[in-house]
Amino acid sequence: MAKSDMLGESLWDAYSDKVTSLMNNPQHQGELFQDEVDKRGNKLIVADFGAESCGDAVRLYWEIDPKSDIIVNSKFKSFGCGTAIASSDVMTDLCIGKTVQEAVKITNIDVEMALRDDPDTPAVPPQKMHCSVMAYDVIKKAAGMYMGVDAESFEEEIIVCECARVSLNTIKEVIKLNDLTTVEQITDYTKAGGFCKSCIKPGGHEDREYYLVDILSDTRKEMDQEKMKAAADAGADGDFAKKTLVQQIKAVDAIIDESIRQFLIMDGGDMEIIDIKTNDEYIDIYIRYLGACNGCASSSTGTLYAIESTLREKLSGNIRVLPI
């Protein structure tokens, strides 16, 4: 079929050569039959899955060696668009030679990556990524049928982005670990929201329980509450001078985050703790100014006084702050 008969020129160019080839010439399309599988002493599994968002459906056939749980052959039948056919074909190919337990670990990203012509160029336009979401779901259903368990038992976490198989816990951990502040940063770090985009905010091609905008907002609130608690604990939890170096740095960071950093950032600057050294008279905290604070006249007068006064009030009267 000519590309002009199927899609506009610009959209067609967004598909990889592998996708366009497999649309018209899938390698694993077909059926497996019970009597033939029985003759080989293997077990036949037939699983169906349909995507409500687009009306596509796929039927997956597995021929499994019951002695090893290895999928020795696999076929598919797809009822849907060309992208669904291509992704189902690659999904089927990825299953062959794996055990059922290994096949369950195949993700939609694995399918999409296998459809790429090169590692850095997406195989399909973002709005068609949902067509490969069926891959994981139908594999999960087939594995559940073979193992005699509910397909949902393979899902240990809440999945926010079906395209990239990114969980709620993973997104929250990445936000906290890397201090992320935008949805674009979440996508850069996790790939969540980078394909069909339905998980970014309400109004996509399908409704979802969790959206990245809400997760980001809620997680940032949790982070602020944790910082406030850490700051309160740092001031009330024993003698600062007797804490370990790691405990001291965490306590100082918590106070800085709570009372100082926001004002530095407003002026285009920031600061970081370099070291803490304790002697008989002082607890010396060595800091480095960043951004606009580096070289600012106030960094050695008013700003320095404010930082030192805050740390003395909340942690120890013996603190001395030394910029380097």
What pLDDT, in 10s, does the model give residues 120-167? Answer: 888 877 666 656 566 778 898 999 999 988 776 666 668 898 777 788
- Report which residue type is found at 118: D
Using only C-alpha atoms, what is the Rg of the chain? 28
Percentage above 90 pLDDT, the chain? 43
Question: Looking at the predicted structure, is the pLDDT value of residue 105 above 70?
Answer: yes
Residue 176's pLDDT is 86
Q: Do residues 10 and 151 share a domain?
A: yes
Both 151 and 164 in a single domain?
A: no
Residues 97 and 124 in one domain: yes
Q: Is 131 annotated as catalytic?
A: yes
Tokens of 110: 């694995």
pLDDT of 9 higher than 50: no
* Interval 108-119: pLDDT, tens: 778 888 999 988
Which band of pLDDT confidence, cut at 50, 70 and 90, is reported for residue 8?
very low
- Domain-ending residue, one of 169, 202, 233: 233
Least confident of 32-46, 157-171, 294-308: 157-171
Q: Are residues 255 and 210 both part of a single domain?
A: no
Q: pLDDT band at 5, cuts 50/70/90?
A: very low
Higher pLDDT, 228 or 39: 39
293 and 163 inside one domain: no
pLDDT higher than 80, residue 71: yes
Q: Which of 136, 155, 174 finishes a domain?
A: 155
Domain that holds residue 290: 238-323
**Both 268 and 219 in a single domain?**
no
Q: Which of 64-73, 128-137, 184-193 has the highest mean pLDDT?
A: 64-73
Q: Looking at this protein, which amino acid is placed at residue 297?
A: A
Higher pLDDT residue, 230 or 247?
A: 247
Q: Which residues of 54-91 are buried (b: 16+ CB within 10 A; e: fewer)?
A: bebbbbbbbbbeeeebbbebbbbbbebbbbbbbbbbbb
- What pLDDT, on a 0 to 100 scale, did the predictor assign at position 200? 94
Is it the case that residue 284 has pLDDT exceeding 50? Answer: yes
Evaluate if residue 228 carries a pLDDT over 90: no
Q: With bands split at pLDDT 50, 70 and 90, how would you rate the model's confidence at 224?
A: confident
Name the active-site residue from 95, 131, 161, 196: 131
Q: Within this chain, do residues 199 and 90 fall inside the same structural domain, yes or no?
A: no
At 7 the pLDDT is 44
210 and 252 co-located in one domain: no
Q: Does one domain contain both 17 and 147?
A: yes
| Number of domains observed in the structure of the chain | 3
- Residues 16 and 138 grouped into a single domain: yes
Kindly report the pTM of this predicted structure. 0.52
Q: What is the CATH number of the domain that holds 277?
A: 3.30.300.130
* Domain co-membership, 89 together with 198: no
How big is the CA angle at 103 (ends 98 and 107), to the nearest 5 degrees? 135
Report residue 232's pLDDT band, with 50, 70 and 90 as the boundaries: low
Q: C-alpha distances in angstroms, 17 versus 94, 122, 148, 273, 317?
A: 19, 11, 39, 51, 68
Concatenated DSSP letters of 251-308? HHHHHHHHHTHHHHHHTTEEEEEEEEEE-SS-EEEEEEEEETTTT-GGGGTHHHHHHH
